[in-house]
Structure formats: C-alpha cells, structure tokens
Amino acid sequence: MKVYKPGFIGCGNMASAIIGGIKQAGITELYVFDKDMEKCRAFDGATICKSVDDVVKSADIIFLCVKPNILPEVLKEITVEGKAFVSIAAGITVEKIRELLRPAARIMRIMPNTPLLVGKGAICIQMPTDLSEGEQIFIEEIFSAIGIVEHVGGNLMDSVTGVSGSGPAYVYMFIDALAKAGAKHGLPEDVSLRLAVQTFEGACEMLKQTGDTPSQLIHNVCSPGGTTIEAMKIFDMNETRGIIEWAVDACVAKSKELSK
C-alpha cells in the first residue's frame, strides 16, 4: 500500500476515530487544524497547522471533518489545487463540494458513524470517486481497521445517513427504554442496563454467526404460547416497524434537504 500524508480539518470525535485507524496502519506523519487549538493538541505527534490552507499545502489527502453548516466556509479558504479531499459531512453532495471549492481537486464522500470510536464503525464510500486507485486503497485500509466498509452510489448516501449514519441513536434509545422497563419491574438500574446492552450485543453476534435473517431469529425466540410472543404482539399492535420506517424517512428527508 502506498503511504500518503493525511491532513484533518476539524478535530472532533470523528477525526479522532479516523486518526486511530491511521495510526493502526503505522502512519505517523499527519497534519491537523481546528479553530479550537486545544483539540489539535490532543493528537500526539501530529503537526498542528495555523490555517485550513496550511493543512492542504502539507498533506496529500485531506479529511473534511467539520459540521455540514461549517463546510462551505471552510471550502472557501482553500486555494491549493490538485489535492484529494475526503468529506464526512452529512447531506453535502460531491457536486456541492465541487461547486464551493474553487481550486481543482479530487473528491471522495463517505458516511461513517460514531462507533468508529470503538473500532465498530459502519463506513459507506460513495462510488464512483475522483480519487486515484492508490488513494482509494489507502482510504479503505484506514477504515477497515475501525469498522466495515461498503460502497454505494451517490443517490443512496441519504439512505445510508438514515440507516447507519444516524442509526446508533435509534439503538441507544431502544436500549435505554428496555433498561428502564427492567428497572420499573424491580431490577437495579445498573443490572438492567448491563442486561439490555449484552442482549443487543449477543443478538447482533447471532445474526453475524448464524447467517439467519432477523425474521428467522425472531421466530426462533417466539415459542407458541410463550412470553416473547406476548411482547411481539404489543410491538405489532403499535406498528413499531412502521414507526422505525417513519423515523428513517424523516432522517433521509432531512439529509436531502441539507444537500440543497
């Protein structure tokens, strides 16, 4: 794998997770910039740059790790041509980035999620991309160290946002509700939360290891006349599947709105 010098504009949690993947790949030369210099100092060994353009001048591949509402202002500060950029901004299309970025550049859009921070991320790379084959391999190596990598067309990136980009929040809400329900029925809060978390983790591992569909595994747990089927009746009666679908619909719609 050819080694490139990575740079980061924005040094929040996502940048921290990606830098973790870079370090696992044995890469030590990297450049960072954030208006909050304290965030930059958190990255041991990184060269702290004085401006957006300083990062772009120094690095080969620049990760745009700022919020979508800030990205347009950041792009206006870039003057160096011919660099490769990787954007993680939700709802901001490659076409929009190209429109706002005055110098000619190669652009890749990705959609990661916060479990990158614990090496369990889901990362979607928009294809096709302007990056060279070597640059693409480099990016995939980095992200494969901290999660799974999928490739999707640009027309599906809003859908990715609705499922995996925002999805961790849905999971946390379900676990929180499950744990609180257990506490309501007498379990100590800490015990109930641990049970809920482990149940989610174990269920996910079952899906991975058995190769069964979620529907099949639900069927396996729901013995006729048993306890689980009573809970499932409540979910069905309250259209839980529909509620999840509507929530994802709202998230995807917001992502599309941001792209405009």
What pLDDT, in 10s, does the model give residues 105-130?
Answer: 999 999 999 999 898 999 999 999 99
Are residues 129 and 10 located together in one domain of the fold? yes
Assigned domain for 93 exists = yes
Are residues 32 and 89 located together in one domain of the fold? yes
What are 182's two structure tokens? 């257990």
Mean pLDDT, rounded, for 222-231: 94
Q: How far apart are CA 107 and CA 124, in angstroms?
A: 15
Are residues 207 and 148 located together in one domain of the fold? no
pLDDT at position 73, please? 93
pLDDT at position 106, please? 95
Assigned domain for 161 exists = no
Assigned domain for 171 exists = yes
Are residues 43 and 149 located together in one domain of the fold? yes
Res 165 pLDDT > 70: yes
Mean pLDDT, rounded, for 21-25: 80
pLDDT, the chain, mean: 93
Res 49 pLDDT > 70: yes
The secondary element (H helix, E strand) that includes residue 25 is: none
Q: For 88-105, write each residue's pLDDT tens digit.
A: 988 889 999 999 998 999
Q: Tell me the CATH number at 200.
A: 1.10.3730.10
Among residues 100, 124, 154, which one ends one of the domains? 154
Res 249 pLDDT > 70: yes
pLDDT at position 23, please? 81
Among residues 124, 154, 184, which one ends one of the domains? 154
pLDDT at position 169, please? 97
Mean pLDDT, rounded, for 237-253: 96
Query: How many Cβ atoms from other residues are within 10 Å of residue 145's Cβ?
Result: 17
Are residues 33 and 139 located together in one domain of the fold? yes
Domain count, the chain: 2
Q: How far apart are CA 198 and CA 179, in angstroms?
A: 11
Among residues 90, 125, 154, which one ends one of the domains? 154
Distances from the Cα of 99 to the Cα of 72, 108, 233, 258, angstroms: 10, 14, 51, 15
Choose among 7, 12, 246: nearest CA to 114: 12
The model's pTM is 0.89
Are residues 93 and 120 located together in one domain of the fold? yes
Domain around 232: 167-259
Are residues 171 and 150 located together in one domain of the fold? no
